[in-house]
Amino acid sequence: MRVSLPLTLLLSWSFAGMANADESKNTSKRTSEVAPVFLVADGLNADGSLIENYQRGLRYAIDYFENYGPYYIYLLGPDSKASVRAIYRKRAMSRVNPSATASAEQQIEAFLKRPNVLAEMKAVLSGKAQGGLTWTQDPPVLYEDVTTNAKEREKNPIENTWGALHEYHHVFQMAHCDTKQKRTSDKHINSWMAEGMATYSSAKFMENLGLIDFKRYMLELRRSGGNIGRPSINDFLAKTKKWQLHNESYWDKGGSAQVYYMLGAWATAYLIHVQGVDEVIVLKDWYYDIPRIGKSAAFKKHMGLSTADFYVKFDAFIRKSDDEVMRIFQQRTRDE
């Protein structure tokens, strides 16, 4: 049965395991008791599987990283223009700042008239697949995962869960960064840290959920590009002799998938399996120190070497053969 209004679902979970009271984790100030909110357009989630498979990933991620928010998940599609418009109005309402000089209605109308919002709504109604995590930098601070064509997501339960895991790691990351600063700032993280660590964590968590083979996936990133894109790591390195993990220009000139996501995932693996840093520290704990002492000092404190030294060591490592680099996972298993 179709409904004329968007389906809004509140996930009523209990959130335990808040940040410990040690010095670094006291900076974790954006944990929330508010459950994530789903807004689903008409024509989706008829059998409940779209939400169920997204929840499968989100629950795992929140259990690992804690609950940050408010977090809104927008699963959209082209079937009902009225439904989409109603959802975007709710989205605008969630962003109203009661302390602003403009009235609530003025803020709502201003949001709905933004060029990027109008373009996004057009993409939804035309069935184009776009989206990802967005967040506000000024009050009210909130996080949003927007999927403009969730019909494709609904057809692929594995990628649906995988995407939920990946995007929620970004929620955690952004909660501990000053996102008004450039990625090169000491108060913000580099793109490889954001995308690479989220690519690693989501793949590892997918294996923990019994849904993929993590080691096979990491090898696929080198040989084929996996589910990230083409060319693969090996093809990229064969054609690109000079590259820098911390270079932020690949978003504009091409190569972002290879450097930030794929090589970033392998850089994360290097920290855990070669440098010997505990997984929880690499994926989570070091972020708590970024607001307090900055990215460079936090990295050196928790990873045991400076970013400059790390980049040199990782560059030499990642150019080795597939067989050689894959041995790091075997060594880790023996040590454990």
User: Taking the model in full, what pTM does it have?
Assistant: 0.90
Q: Give the pLDDT score at 131.
A: 82
Section 109-120 average pLDDT = 97
The amino acid that residue 131 corresponds to is G
Q: Give the pLDDT score at 32.
A: 85
Q: Give the pLDDT score at 241.
A: 87
In the chain, the percentage of residues whose pLDDT exceeds 70 is: 89
Backbone angles phi, psi at 181, to 5 degrees: -90, 160
Burial class (CB in 10 A: 0-12, 13-18, 19+), 196: buried
Helices marked H in the chain — which ranges? 49-65, 81-94, 104-112, 115-125, 150-155, 157-174, 191, 197-208, 214-223, 233-239, 250-253, 256, 264-273, 279-283, 290-293, 295-303, 307-318, 322-335
Chain position carrying tokens 């690479």: 196
39 contacts 124 by C-beta, under 8 angstroms: no
**Domain extents in the chain:** 7-174, 191-335
User: Which is it for the CA torsion 187, 268, 208, 57, positive or negative?
Assistant: positive
Task: Verify cis geometry, omega within 30 degrees of 0, for the bond prior to 140.
Answer: yes
95 contacts 111 by C-beta, under 8 angstroms: yes
Phi-psi region of 114 (alpha: psi -120 to 50; beta: other; left: phi over 0): beta
145 contacts 133 by C-beta, under 8 angstroms: yes
Section 46-57 average pLDDT = 98
Could you tell me which CATH number the domain at 191-335 has? 1.10.390
Backbone angles phi, psi at 241, to 5 degrees: -75, -35
pLDDT band at 271 (very low <50, low <70, confident <90, very high): very high
Q: Is the pLDDT of residue 293 over 80?
A: yes
The amino acid that residue 323 corresponds to is D
SS3 105: helix
239 contacts 306 by C-beta, under 8 angstroms: no
Q: Is the pLDDT of residue 155 over 90?
A: yes
Q: Give the pLDDT score at 29.
A: 55
Q: What is the pLDDT of residues 137-147, one digit of tens each?
A: 899 999 999 99
